[in-house]
Structure 1
Amino acid sequence: MSRPLTATIRFSALQHNYKLAKRLHGGLVLAIVKANAYGHGAVLCAKALDTLADGFGVASIEEAIQLREAGIDKPILLLEGWFEPSELALIQQYNLWTAMHSVAQITDIENAKLSKPLTLWVKIDSGMHRLGMCAETFRLAYDRLRNSNKVGKIVAMTHFSRADELDSQATPQQIERFNKAVAGLDVETSLCNSGGILAWPNGHSDWGRAGVMLYGGAGTHRVLSDWPLPVMNLDSKVMAVRDLPAGEPIGYGACFYTDRPTRVGVVACGYADGYPRAAPTGTPVLINGQRSRTLGRVSMDMLMVDLNDIPNADVGSTVRLWGEGLPASEVATAASTIDYELFCNVKRARLIYED
């Protein structure tokens, strides 16, 4: 018997979420499958979306080559662009689109021996201050890129820093700065990440970039009538049961004491599997479909759960750590993190793929 921790990936939910992104955003939408599709399996997720998606987004050229060699022939955008000028040859070889974020990279293009013009996504810093050019620099870069005769289509892009904060003026300000930067220029545009697609229709433009919403992550606290479905069900089982009296400590550091006689279930999942060690007592779980909570500190390979109010729970009972019935965002909030991190950190779980 194998260890009972499984991550079941439901392609039907993934496809539903992409269609939702298209319906909300309009225009074209990239499916972002960087970081191994946020822990869900990049190649298989891309194949599941291949007939639907307008293209894919990845972080690095290694991720792009993996998709190409697996038979994905839709457009693939390198979201971080190139790191060395020599990568431009690979970008051409594998027919990739690439981002660029600095004026210094224009020299790389001007000096490159290219067989055909590049499709270039140029990053504009509209307020996040991570990567990108200011508005004035972008206009100068645009002229220089056009004069190089080595660039075909230009897509101007930006990234929202606070799209999940619906009461903040940061996103409207970023939209306004971006629109001023591209006014009058012959470019397509891309502003919206998942949060933008879900909550900021004023930012919808030629291209959206659907990331965490594809996998059922929130991206925003806005609640819609049609919401992204959880794609990953992370499940394990109770491997042991302990009956403890009141006043007994549980787990490392004795950070929790029983306040009544307590049936404690030991579950085969810990922080080495990607479950957050910071998750405190009270983090929600589902045991045989019924809501319960974690107890004490998460260990490397195990965590403990409260079985008191689930009389049918015993060794072998199913424990859902997140997924259908228990959004990963709720677990993430309890652990003071975000669902993106939970998905990306999953490891050692046996992956099961369902249509």
Structure 2
Amino acid sequence: MTCEAFPSDCQATLTIDLDRIITNYRTCRSLAGGTDCAAMVKADAYGMGIEQVAPALYNKAGCRNFFVANLAEAIKLRRHVPDAIIYVLNGVFPGHVPYFIQHRIRPVLNDLDQIQLWAAVTAADRPACAIHFDSGINRLGLSPQETGAFIGDTTLQACLNIALIMSHLACSDAPEHPLNLTQLQNFTAITRHFPGIPASLANSGGILLGPDYHFDLARPGLMMFGGNPSPRPLPDGIQAAYHISGKVLQLRDLRIGETVGYGATWTAERPSRIAIINVGYADGYLQVFNNCGQTAYKGHMLPIVGRVSMDMIAVDITDLEVTEISPGDDVELLGEHITLEMASEVSTLSQYEILTGVKERYQRVYK
């Protein structure tokens, strides 16, 4: 007998709720006071699958603007949203121009070299572009010196079809940080030199900073998938759009003094019962969760004990009734009970790292 497929229950499962992503996107627009919102779908739509997420946002939520990190992501995205506006945050480089033209992709131009390269392209062939100004994060974007030079070079500006000017906030996850206001003032001053051109500053956290930060286009990412970009409570209407579960492989009984896993880092201080789950650091569940992670099963919180290994974790189920859990049962690792905020707090990983760290080995289920 030839088996071309494999049984669905042999992997851990990542369930993505597309309806919730759509609802979260609409909530972001509402939180932004009706300002148009692009969708940040870099890193495979934050690990949720760009080939499923982007068409859902385009067809069901009316999203028309998408941002990705690099050209490879943009070309993949174009196959799934053929009529959308796609921006590449890393910009354009020598040798890449024909691909931008062929796939109708817009570069986010981050320095004067990229601007000169794009301005040299025949205008009839060239898609529109965005200009990225560094307002204080000191990452990508025109430096203050380059900004002054570009503002003063109206001839160079006239060579470009500028569809958007943008900047990026460094501290939007810390609402009281003074750099937020500094960046807002810097970017507002820049926008005065480009009347009539849409402007964009706010990411997910920036949306929550208030209307002064919204401008013409907001760029939600984390919040669209149910993460919280702020230390304040998650806004109403934003829900987790993912559920990660692993399967129980085996149950084991331990005597007092016996240890679990590599390095023997956890020792049973009472007669204990543990469950072995089929998820490990090869699935993106990293060793920062050693002896501190949490899982959930039917409302019960079950702690990780011992080290996370490549393919397995152990959880303490001593307080469950023996008949409550069996091999083959699903245990939640991330979702309604184990939120991104909780996982981030115990692990010191950011919510972004946890969500985008989801690996391909999961069985993906879309609903």
Quote the residue 1:89 is aligned against.
98
1:112 aligns with 2:121: yes
1:13 aligns to 2:20 (yes or no): yes
Residue of structure 2 equivalent to 1:203: 213
Whether the 8 Å contact between 1:166 and 1:199 is mirrored in structure 2 is yes
Question: In structure 2, what is the equivalent of residue 155 of structure 1?
Answer: 164
Q: Would you say 1:339 and 2:351 are equivalent positions?
A: yes
Counterpart for residue 52 of structure 2: 44
**SS at 1:295 equivalent:** coil
Q: For each residue in 1:73-117, what CA deviation from the matched residue of structure 2 results, as whole angstroms up to 9, or x when unmatched?
A: 111111111122x32232222222220111122221232223255
Residues in 2 aligned to 1:129 and 1:208: alpha-carbon distance in whole angstroms: 20
SS for the counterpart of 1:210 is coil
1:156 is displaced (CA, Å) by 1.8
Classify 1:31/1:267 alpha carbon distance in 2 versus 1 (closer, same or farther; 3 Å).
same
Whichever residue aligns with residue 176 of structure 1, its letter is: Q
Alignment partners' CA distance in 2, 1:157 and 1:200: 17
Alignment partner, residue 315 of structure 2: 305
Q: How does 1:1-355 map to 2 (within 5 A)?
A: 1=7, 2-25=9-32, 26-51=34-59, 52-84=62-94, 86-116=95-125, 118-144=127-153, 147=156, 149-186=158-195, 187-311=197-321, 312-347=324-359, 348-354=361-367
RMSD over aligned Cα atoms: 1.9
Match of 2:4 in 1: none
Percent sequence identity over aligned pairs: 30
TM-score of the pair, normalised by structure 1: 0.93
| SS of equivalent residue, structure 2 residue 289 | coil
**AA in 1 matched with 2:118:** I
CA positional deviation for 1:47: 0.7
The answer to whether the Cα contact below 8 Å between 2:23 and 2:237 also exists between their aligned partners in 1 is: no
Q: CA deviation at 1:56?
A: 0.8
Q: Normalising by structure 2, report the TM-score.
A: 0.90
1:50 is paired with a residue whose SS is helix
- Deviation of 1:179 (Å): 1.3
Q: Deviations over 1:270-327 (max 9, x none)?
A: 0001112111313221023322211111010000001012211232332000012221
Q: Greater shift after overlay, 259-268 or 177-186? A: 177-186
Distance 1:149 1:282 in 2: 57
Distance in 2 separating the partners of 1:214 and 1:145: 38
Q: How much does 1:238 deviate?
A: 1.2
* 8 Å Cα contact 1:255-1:297 kept in structure 2: yes
Matched positions, count = 353
Q: How much has 1:197 moved relative to structure 2?
A: 1.3
Would the alpha carbon gap of residues 225 and 210 (structure 1) be closer, same or farther in structure 2, given more than 3 Å must change? closer
Separation (CA, whole Å) in 2 of partners of 1:241 and 1:155? 57
Provide the rounded CA distance (Å) in 2 between the counterparts of 1:292 and 1:307: 6
Q: After superposition, what is the alpha-carbon deviation per residue over 1:207-255, rounded to whole angstroms, capped at 9, x for unaligned?
A: 1111111111112222144142111110112111111122222111111
User: Can you give the 5+ residue segments of structure 1 that lack an aligned partner in the other structure?
Assistant: none
Please say if residues 79 and 99 of structure 1, whose CA atoms lie closer than 8 Å, have aligned partners that are also in contact.
yes
Contact kept, 8 Å, 2:260 with 2:305, in 1: the verdict is: yes
State whether residues 39 and 67 of structure 2, in contact with CA within 8 Å, keep that contact through their aligned partners in structure 1. Answer: yes
Change (3 A) 1:253 1:98: same
State the Cα distance separating 1:124 from its structure 2 match.
Answer: 1.2
In the alignment, is the contact (CA less than 8 A) between 1:139 and 1:181 conserved in 2?
Answer: no
